[in-house]
Chain A
Amino acid sequence: DSGVTQTPKHLITATGQRVTLRCSPRSGDLSVYWYQQSLDQGLQFLIQYYNGEERAKGNILERFSAQQFPDLHSELNLSSLELGDSALYFCASSVRGARGNEQFFGPGTRLTVL
């Protein structure tokens, strides 16, 4: 158990809908990262937050957004869902924003868009 929690574990929804994925980092970790794992794209970095502020952005679609709250939990919002958004979404956390810290991953949320 990495100490990172993600809810829900599974999510099934329809095209055009909006969903919210939730992540709680390990106790004491200030950085939260979101990654998407799909069969065609592999594991891709989406976005990073550090102590409530956006720190880095990757290949995140405009339909997707995230935030980190004062209690350090984070949410990833996916809207106008398409079939291609079906994937496993991971949240990870690390101690601080210092370079090269290992990231500990949550169990993931499996999103299925029908």
Chain B
Amino acid sequence: AQKVTQAQTEISVVEKEDVTLDCVYETRDTTYYLFWYKQPPSGELVFLIRRNSFDEQNEISGRYSWNFQKSTSSFNFTITASQVVDSAVYFCALSEARYGDKLIFGTGTRLQVFP
């Protein structure tokens, strides 16, 4: 079964703290894709990153980094030195090659960064 679990419903941190958002996925496909999206209070969904199942290299983009581990079916997202502008709901999503391009979203993690 295809499933994405984001166990952390809400996280609160103070500015400059590092924070990690967890994502665990389930799939029977060997070819699949993982994504992170950000939904700020304004409501739009902003694409952050895409990873395919054959590329386990971790990625860093500025203060953002992603850790993909197939052994634990996890694709975690870390924000270093968080800022108030990082406050948003973050969604992890999965698409599987055999089921086309549809995205299966997790329930999201609401991150609140306080000054």
Contact with B along A24-52 (1 / 0, CB 8 A): 00000001010100000011110010000
Main SS at interface, chain A:
strand
Contact of B45 among A56, A100, A105, A110 (CB under 8 A): A105
How far does the Cβ of A1 sit from chain B's closest Cβ, in whole Å? 9
- How far apart sit A100 and B97, CA to CA, in the bound complex (Å)? 7
The size bracket of the interface on B is 20 to 34
- Contact A56 to B99, CB < 8 A, known contacts A107-B43, A108-B44: yes
Residues on A with beta carbons closer than 8 Å to the beta carbon of B101:
31, 33, 48, 55-56, 94, 97, 99-101, 103
How far does the Cβ of A98 sit from chain B's closest Cβ, in whole Å? 8
Contact with A along B98-111 (1 / 0, CB 8 A): 01111111011000
- Contact A99 to B31, CB < 8 A, known contacts A42-B108, A105-B45, A107-B43: yes
How far does the Cβ of A88 sit from chain B's closest Cβ, in whole Å? 7
Cβ of A8 within 8 Å of any chain B Cβ, yes or no, is no
Residues on B with beta carbons closer than 8 Å to the beta carbon of A101:
50, 101
Chain A CB within 10 Å — which of B32, B45, B91, B104 has the most?
B45
How far does the Cβ of A106 sit from chain B's closest Cβ, in whole Å? 8
Contact of B105 among A2, A42, A56 (CB under 8 A): A42
Beyond known contacts A45-B104, A58-B102: 8 more, CB 8 A cutoff: A43-B91, A45-B102, A56-B99, A56-B101, A90-B45, A100-B32, A100-B52, A105-B44
